């Protein structure tokens, strides 16, 4: 999955006094550095680590929004500094150059992917999954949530941006792939293996089965949304894609014994109803 938890939006909070000139900030910081008193003068804020961290985050949020909107090539460090309301010196104090800033943003997003994917797939831990029908229902819900996560506009925009810059940043693109979409399939495979072991599913390769599940659910809407970002699938379309994807997945991977049990149970229910 592509990280589903990617914020990609500049935050208005925490800007503090970034609107002041870089010259004024530099003078104030110099005075603070040369002061021999243990306490700052009354009425003056300390420029501690917390304030520096907030500035860094504002730069990251601003740069993310600009990269996603304008692309890597058309975004300048001058523009990032201006939109973040900080001096250019402050930007370079935190990031050596535009390449490092872009890399830190992408790697920061992918570092959060594992937690997001784990949260999405946590439903597969449910003790309520006792039959193949239970598993089918849970996988359908997972496919639906997966769709909503990867079709978020900022997630699609970041994916589009990383793909566009893959030639310029091959190592970064590989890291994004390994830590986001490929990692999502690995986590799903780990869960599916448990149901293979329990005899609900039948597969020689759990990773391939997980990839089939993921792409049955995601490929059609994700591919279309990459090229037509203003035409997202409707709620009804998403429901249908998730349901049909899981139906096809079960046609390929449901264990024959589980399928036979499902038919027996269905027959018994029909008989009782008659």
Q: Look at the chain and report how many structural domains it folds into.
A: 2
* Short-list 159, 26, 156, 2, CA closest to 86: 26
Residue 12 has pLDDT above 50, yes or no: no
85 shares a domain with 135: no
Decide if 272 is inside a domain. Answer: no
Decide if 271 is inside a domain. Answer: no
132 shares a domain with 90: no
Which range among 80-89, 93-102, 125-134 shows the weakest confidence by mean pLDDT? Answer: 125-134
> Which SS3 state, helix, strand or coil, does residue 247 take?
helix
Residue 263 has pLDDT above 80, yes or no: no
121 shares a domain with 25: no
Looking at residue 1, its pLDDT comes to: 52
The torsion angle over the Cα atoms of residues 213, 234, 165 and 211, rounded to 10 degrees, is: 0
Decide if 40 is inside a domain. Answer: no
Residues with Cβ < 8 Å from 259, sequence gap 6 or more?
Answer: 132
Decide if 74 is inside a domain. Answer: yes
The residue out of 87, 111, 135 marking a domain boundary is: 111
Token pair in block for residue 3:
């990280």
Decide if 106 is inside a domain. Answer: yes
Q: What is the pLDDT of residues 165-183, one digit of tens each?
A: 999 999 999 999 999 999 9
Q: Are 133 and 266 within 8 A, CB to CB?
A: no
Report which secondary-structure segment, H or E, holds 148. Answer: helix 132-150
Boundaries of domain holding 243:
112-264
74 shares a domain with 156: no
Residue predicted with more confidence, 61 or 263:
61
The residue out of 111, 131, 159 marking a domain boundary is: 111
Decide if 41 is inside a domain. Answer: no
pTM score, whole prediction = 0.72
| CATH code of the domain covering residue 63 | 1.10.357.10
DSSP labels, 152-192: SHHHHHHHHHHHHTTTT-HHHHHHHHHHTHHHHHHHHHHHH
244 shares a domain with 193: yes
Residues with Cβ < 8 Å from 111, sequence gap 6 or more?
Answer: 179
What is the Cα Rg of the chain in Å? 25
> Which SS3 state, helix, strand or coil, does residue 201 take?
strand
> Which SS3 state, helix, strand or coil, does residue 254 take?
strand
Q: What is the pLDDT of residues 108-142, one digit of tens each?
A: 888 777 778 888 888 888 778 999 999 999 999 99
Q: Name the packing angle between helices 132-150 and 206-227 (round to 10°).
A: 40
Residue predicted with more confidence, 8 or 169:
169
Q: What is the pLDDT of residues 17-71, one digit of tens each?
A: 334 444 444 444 444 444 444 443 443 344 455 888 999 999 999 999 999 999 9
Decide if 38 is inside a domain. Answer: no
Decide if 269 is inside a domain. Answer: no
69 shares a domain with 131: no
What proportion of the chain, given as a percentage, has pLDDT over 90?
64
181 shares a domain with 106: no
Confidence of residue 274 (pLDDT cuts 50, 70, 90): low
């Amino acid at each position: 999955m592509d990280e589903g938890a990617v914020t990609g939006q500049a935050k208005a909070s925490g800007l503090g006094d970034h609107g002041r000139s870089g010259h004024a900030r530099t003078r104030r910081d110099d005075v603070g550095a040369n002061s021999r008193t243990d306490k700052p003068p009354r009425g003056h804020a300390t420029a501690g680590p917390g304030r520096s961290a907030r500035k860094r985050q504002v730069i990251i949020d601003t740069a993310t929004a600009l990269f996603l909107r304008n692309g890597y090539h058309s975004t300048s460090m001058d523009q990032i500094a201006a939109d973040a309301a900080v001096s250019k010196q402050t930007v370079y104090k935190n990031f050596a150059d535009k390449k490092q800033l872009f890399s830190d943003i992408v790697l920061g997003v992918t570092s959060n992917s594992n937690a997001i994917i784990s949260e999405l797939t946590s439903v597969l831990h449910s003790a309520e999954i006792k039959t193949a029908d239970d598993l089918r229902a849970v996988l359908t819900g997972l496919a639906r949530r997966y769709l909503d996560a990867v079709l978020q506009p900022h997630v699609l925009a970041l994916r589009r941006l990383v793909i566009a810059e893959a030639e310029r940043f091959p190592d970064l693109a590989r890291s994004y792939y390994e830590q986001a979409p490929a990692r999502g399939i690995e986590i799903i495979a780990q869960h599916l293996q448990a149901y293979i072991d329990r005899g609900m599913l039948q597969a020689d390769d759990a990773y391939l089965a997980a990839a089939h599940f993921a792409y049955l659910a995601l490929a059609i809407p994700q591919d279309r949304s990459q090229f037509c970002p203003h035409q997202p699938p409707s709620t009804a379309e998403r429901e249908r894609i998730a349901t049909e994807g899981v139906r096809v997945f079960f046609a390929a991977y449901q264990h024959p014994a589980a399928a036979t049990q499902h038919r027996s149970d269905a027959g018994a229910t029909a008989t009782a109803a008659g």
